[in-house]
Structure 1
Amino acid sequence: MSTPTNKQAAGIAARWKAFGLPAKIISTAVTLVLILLVLVLAARGLSSLDGVKSFLATYPGHSDLPDGAPVGLPAWLGWQHFINMFLILLIIRSGWQVRTTKRPAAHWIRNNKGVIKTKNAPTKISLDLWFHLTLDALWVLNGTIFIVVLFATGQWMRIVPTSWDVFPNAISAGLQYLSLNWPTDNGWVNYNGLQLLTYFITVFIAAPLAIITGLRMSGAWPKNAKTLNKIYPITVARAVHFPVMLYFVLFIVVHVTLVLATGALRNLNHMYTSSDVVNWWGFGIFACSLVVMAAAWFLAQPLFLRPVASLMGKVTK
């Protein structure tokens, strides 16, 4: 199989441009497809080598869990998964609006005469930023509950590396994915090495980074703490916060794709019905959750946000 030349790629981009898509987006998409094609061909070539075959046989892609590790996904984890998905979708939306909107439709200022009084004068912020910060607070609360219950129930053993062979197994799983000869998946029992490391990075590295950098950029950060601000300047937080958001977008895209491509009905039952069966119940609940999120996406606009924000402060146009 031969890969398309630059001239062929340009022709593909020209044909898509006829549909009115921006040239930069078309060029980027075509480049990514070509890179992915090259990686797939390279992975398939490597997988045919005797040494690599031996490596894949020694490390099939998943590690054994510690004794006493729980089997299956409890109902609380399914609810946590939905709430997190619901919040992160709106957080990404509102965060992008904060970053790109030059003239906000409305502003919000907190009420300093309420039950909780503060010494500093209220600061006026855009309604988009108020929505983003409110979602952030709910996301942190949900995440805190998740971490506590995760360790209380032993479910942490499913997403925290407990042996060094998780790393060669992750390489093995990645090679199998790239070669399109995907590893045997049984998420009801345990995740493969690549999944485990990805979930660990998402929960214990990316999420805390999002919180720490977001807090640094928020009005809650002490502005007069000169030493602290010198150690942790706001420019660093801004430089990290946006790439972390892009990581979450990439994670969601890949995660949903693999859920649907590696046994959709069974995987959706794992997450939405806490059962290891193959039927349409999980898919039905998943479809309903998409409707809920689509409705929330539509309602997340100034017309509907103003009455809610007014309960927590003053909204001005």
Structure 2
Amino acid sequence: MKLLVIRFSALGDVAMTIPVIYSVANRYPDLNITVLSKQFVSPLFTNCPKNVTFRGIDLSQYKGINGLYRLFRELKKEQFDAVADLHDVLRSMILRIFFKLSGTQTAHIDKGRAEKKALTRINHKIIKPLRTSFEHYADVFKALGYPVEIKFDSIYKGKGDAELFKSIANLDKKNHWIGFAPFAAHKGKVLPIETVKLLIDKLAANPKNQIFLFGGGEKEKIQLEILAGDSEQVTAVAGKLKMNGELALMSYLDVLVSMDSANMHLASLVGTPVISVWGATHPYAGFMGWNQKQENAVQIDLPCRPCSIFGNKPCHRKDYACLYKIQTDTILQKINHIIES
């Protein structure tokens, strides 16, 4: 049997498919799975099960209905028995319709939009934990006849290859390796820069701490270099390693502090504990990193929270109290607890 799995973006969402896809692959070794996504996420699948193949594409080469039909015809040659759409956006929807019309079994994710709207609306919120993205992904495979219990620890058997990050970190000098990913795509998920600076200063005050700053894109790279300054204890990782190097380095961290962002999910893929910081968003929406503990989530209890699933809505209060009220000492206590334990 051949199964096509579609999930184009974003990085964190693709990362969240991996515990489920790998669990399905291990549960059904005779099932050949092809994962269709953007090429840049390929390092996530470097150590995938033998019956999983990654196919990265440049979506700009398949624009519009005609482009997607051309992609469908290319994929159709591989004679897939079923298609799992883990994205359910217009592009993936059109692709799966082409497959369905050709007689191929399809199933797609139910994102639970109504429940998420009830969780984030301004008035009469229904505050309760929703089903996780992992569960929603597993539902798609179940609908295709492949029910699975998600069992996943890491993309590595042990740790990643230290050779991939030796240019910026030396295992021979390892004391406490602490990662910090202070940025996210939207303002509602980012700590004030003053809080970020203060946390880095407090961490660097302990000579046993080595701090690695993670981020992506040219703008974040510049900001992280400024935050690192000339301190020997603080290293801006952005732009210095490829994704496989960052993943390998993350596997050696004692802990990562991350916003509700892709880095939380990358660290989760390598079995690293994450202290996750939540502002406008909330763990109840189902996007907590795989195997991460609720007790390690940092958040302020406000009647307006959560107000957004993705953190992209303007603050109703105009002051982003959900982020500005977070104290560095709260985060430090959680870091120390993980390191000491």
Q: TM-score higher than 0.5 here? A: no
Normalising TM by the smaller chain, what interval? under 0.3
RCO greater where, 1 or 2, for CA within 8 Å and sep 6 or more? Answer: 1
Task: Name the TM-score, length of structure 2 as normaliser.
Answer: 0.24
Bigger strand share: 2
Greater gyration radius: 1
Task: Name the TM-score, length of structure 1 as normaliser.
Answer: 0.25
